[in-house]
Structure 1
């Protein structure tokens, strides 16, 4: 296709100012670059990745508003808006690249405590005071992460697409170190024991651009954590056995909210295991570990698509919010919708395109390469565990270990023996008749926003809820889920996330209802017991309603 025809086609189809970029996307297929396990990168691959992160930080030190820099890419995740002066230029320091890197390294790692974000306002989204003296202030909208609905996976995949393009753009010619043009985001398989003490070795090297002060660390000299915090069997079960809504989340305003992967895997890793800046959505993107952590989550999404296809994924028409530099290669099929841009600095895309653009990763030029020993538990092993728990005498309540307890037992994370609060309700065992059984865990309106873990037990009414007893926990546990406090991100995530209305956490318990029916419990009424725990609830008050079971098609 010649250039004039391509430009005409772009104008007719997209009416976009990105005609050159879009033309290139239409005309040329993408070279597929593979994301690898960070523990299996060659020395040269690791050096190039570290150099890319370093140079992105240098770009931000030269100008915090450089959209290809580390700070802006972090703000795409962290910030709904940031103050911008009329020159769109603000340097954190001066000097050569080495000096500038030391400046931003010091700024990012400032403070003696993980809560001390205000020691450096650029670690937050609020620095109007600092930039106001350099010109009139306007506000730009870097982006902000999506949670508690069916675009959780897609938004982060879009974010990582552009973050990876920024890595490749950091020093493609290798003028200051290894060339970054082929760098990809390596993933951290957090379902395996770490190669460092708590994290992959590369992230524990204090001389590396990947190191970050504000994350939870084990004492120096400790042995590596064994087993991993997250169970690989639980993750594999969710991938192989759950449909899109249960796995990936529910449409805004629909029957539920968080998918099981977000609430049972993602949230507790953020809040409990890594902690630090990953504890808060408004700071999480400042830790380089965040990107490798989420790269493996994206790999899990790819594994789900391999198993189930992408046809049932919802939310595909939503535009993924995030303002990205126009110099970065746009995804194939990109269009940004209607609406004007800000002037005079209009060299950006208003969003990251529709969610559905990212379902086919190879079309967009990236894919995942498994490590030498595989990254996911094979489906055959999960099938065998499920079949065992469906045998007569081995169903929920009859078996000393429930299905969920067994799946969870392959990781260090588990139910809490002494929860802060206990709330009870009832569940009637009945035929689902093609419906799903969804449990609503509801925190009352007016509560402070705090992260919490909830352990859900189903047990006969004549059995006391002895949560402190390990045998009780193993026999009757049906799920452990977490809610990650979104700290001011609420109104952008879900319609029930504000403190003025009750907050729901919805989970699919269909497997447990069906399992109880296999065990001959049809028609019985059992007790539902919630054990609720939190280590960051300042008030110490836990106001939850009795759990309710809903049935939804």
Structure 2
């Protein structure tokens, strides 16, 4: 692409040239009508759009004409989540946004511009989680209102502050395969779908954390996919998520999918981005266009800091399970009925098939090449609710009435259910199917086994409500199951 994306922390404190130019361009683009395909609001509506919500937020006035292409599926409401299209679609979205902002910067100042990333996972920077100051300032250097503060965030936000159990995680980059299984329920990238779907069935590891976690922690518009693209921080966050994907693909031992359905994009319609200037026919693309050599492939200044990876060097130390297409994923147990979580923790018994479970547990620690190796996962299927980014914690074999904080060793994971409101709408294009998640419980199962506490006939799963979950806004999970992933040590 001819440009290099840089860490915003390396560009200088306060109003460095990159962020000042970003603010100036944003102000100009936000002054354009939503009918302009290069306007700030049109770009934001491409991620998610709800005319009633936007009017309620006074983002569009009563006399504003909303172009039909934002409501008929042509350009609006495109964001891909819960599927293997999550990463390639957002990469194309970033590149389009970057080109439009860069053109406006050039027009206003004559400067070149590229989208920076916010490296909130950089352990070498003590201030990595602090919101860049330019996004918090009341005024521009000349005293004008700061456009980078136009849209609301969590009250008092100045630094990303995860709670006791919802810490940032780079566990996603330990996964060696983009997708595993017939439906892609396990893997780095998200569930398999052949068609365009804004919220699909299975959330990939990288999307779950840190992507979803950061959306919730920033809050405000960032906490709702129908508004998130309006916050200028959205673009720096997604730039970092995109960088993590690039680092993962550049690391030995990681396997990207070669499936033609992914490479060519949705079968029922192409992904579509507005051209610079907004003229028809726009820019269509598929997954292959986001890979090396493709029209949307980016360049980053660094793929090591804050990624947990060493591209071109040593892969993350996890036992290889062989080619992903030769691995298998099978359910070995499930609970009997749906679970509803309100203000209190709720538990459900998952009945296991003893023989398959015993064999799976026995092979979890295999390291000898050629031997069978397994990993175990909890799957939460058809998760529904009305909140836009609620949070739950998942525990295995937590004693009845026990304080979850007293048993970190039984914590299977934290989930921020970003977009749950959209995925749960019964009359939406998603059919109200909700979202799906898998949590790797291999190490937890090994600890239980070593302590003599793993029963091959059953496990008890406890869902602990977090932020935005209450009796008035509960979360329902249609099914909780245990999946066994089987491969051969490579």
TM-score by length of 2: 0.70
Q: Counterparts of 1:550 and 1:524 in 2: how far apart (Å)?
A: 13
Structure 1 partner of 2:281: 349
Query: How many pairs are equivalent?
Result: 416
Q: Against the structure 1 CA distance between its residues 512 and 162, is the aligned structure 2 distance closer, same or farther, given a 3 Å change threshold?
A: same
1:199 has 2:131 as partner: yes
Q: Counterparts of 1:450 and 1:48 in 2: how far apart (Å)?
A: 32
Give secondary structure in 1 for the equivalent of 2:63: helix
Matches within 5 A, 1:139-178: 139-140=69-70, 141-143=74-76, 144-173=78-107, 176-177=108-109
Which of 181, 185, 189 lines up with 1:248 in the alignment? 189
Structure 1 partner of 2:363: none
Larger mean Cα displacement after TM superposition, 148-157 or 246-255: 246-255
Structure 2 partner of 1:439: 378
Q: Counterparts of 2:160 and 2:213 in 1: how far apart (Å)?
A: 19
Matches within 5 A, 1:307-456: 307=251, 308-312=254-258, 315-319=262-266, 321-325=271-275, 327=277, 347-360=279-292, 364=296, 366-370=298-302, 374-377=305-308, 420-426=344-350, 428=352, 429-432=357-360, 437-442=376-381, 448=386, 451-456=389-394
Q: Counterparts of 2:374 and 2:345 in 1: how far apart (Å)?
A: 31
**Is the Cα–Cα contact under 8 Å of residues 205 and 211 in structure 1 kept in the other structure?**
yes
Structure 2 partner of 1:303: 247
**Is the Cα–Cα contact under 8 Å of residues 190 and 228 in structure 1 kept in the other structure?**
no
Which of 409, 419, 440 lines up with 1:509 in the alignment? 440
1:281 has 2:225 as partner: yes
The alpha carbon displacement at 1:436 in A equals: 5.9
Structure 2 partner of 1:57: 27
Structure 2 partner of 1:524: 456
Larger mean Cα displacement after TM superposition, 284-293 or 260-269: 260-269
Cα deviation code 1:284-313 (max 9, x no counterpart): 111100100111111111111112153457
Q: Counterparts of 1:157 and 1:492 in 2: how far apart (Å)?
A: 29
Give secondary structure in 2 for the equivalent of 1:214: coil
Structure 2 partner of 1:263: 208
Q: Against the structure 1 CA distance between its residues 185 and 420, is the aligned structure 2 distance closer, same or farther, given a 3 Å change threshold?
A: farther
Q: Against the structure 1 CA distance between its residues 440 and 121, is the aligned structure 2 distance closer, same or farther, given a 3 Å change threshold?
A: same
Q: Counterparts of 1:278 and 1:529 in 2: how far apart (Å)?
A: 30
The alpha carbon displacement at 1:277 in A equals: 0.4
Radius of gyration: which is bigger?
1
Q: Counterparts of 2:214 and 2:427 in 1: how far apart (Å)?
A: 19
The alpha carbon displacement at 1:167 in A equals: 1.5
**Is the Cα–Cα contact under 8 Å of residues 257 and 506 in structure 1 kept in the other structure?**
yes
Cα deviation code 1:95-143 (max 9, x no counterpart): xxxxxxxxxxxxxxxxxxxx99624132xxxx6x4135xxx97544323
**Is the Cα–Cα contact under 8 Å of residues 361 and 367 in structure 1 kept in the other structure?**
no
Which of 120, 130, 142 lines up with 1:190 in the alignment? 120
Q: Against the structure 1 CA distance between its residues 545 and 142, is the aligned structure 2 distance closer, same or farther, given a 3 Å change threshold?
A: closer
The alpha carbon displacement at 1:218 in A equals: 2.7
Q: Any unmatched runs of 5+ in structure 2?
A: 140-145, 180-186, 320-341, 361-371
- Looking at secondary structure, tell me which structure has more helix per residue: 1
Q: Against the structure 1 CA distance between its residues 60 and 364, is the aligned structure 2 distance closer, same or farther, given a 3 Å change threshold?
A: same
1:471 has 2:406 as partner: yes
Give secondary structure in 2 for the equivalent of 1:210: helix
Which of 134, 138, 154 lines up with 1:216 in the alignment? 154
Which of 216, 234, 247 lines up with 1:290 in the alignment? 234
Structure 1 partner of 2:337: none
**Is the Cα–Cα contact under 8 Å of residues 84 and 192 in structure 2 kept in the other structure?**
yes
The alpha carbon displacement at 1:442 in A equals: 3.9
Q: Counterparts of 2:424 and 2:160 in 1: how far apart (Å)?
A: 36
Larger mean Cα displacement after TM superposition, 38-47 or 292-301: 38-47
Q: CA RMSD in A?
A: 4.3
Q: Against the structure 1 CA distance between its residues 365 and 251, is the aligned structure 2 distance closer, same or farther, given a 3 Å change threshold?
A: closer
The alpha carbon displacement at 1:457 in A equals: 2.1
Q: Counterparts of 2:475 and 2:423 in 1: how far apart (Å)?
A: 21
Larger mean Cα displacement after TM superposition, 419-428 or 513-522: 513-522
Structure 2 partner of 1:549: 482
Q: Against the structure 1 CA distance between its residues 228 and 423, is the aligned structure 2 distance closer, same or farther, given a 3 Å change threshold?
A: closer
Q: Counterparts of 1:537 and 1:230 in 2: how far apart (Å)?
A: 15
Q: Any unmatched runs of 5+ in structure 1?
A: 1-29, 84-114, 329-346, 388-417
Structure 1 partner of 2:16: 46
Larger mean Cα displacement after TM superposition, 317-326 or 514-523: 514-523
Q: Counterparts of 2:233 and 2:114 in 1: how far apart (Å)?
A: 14
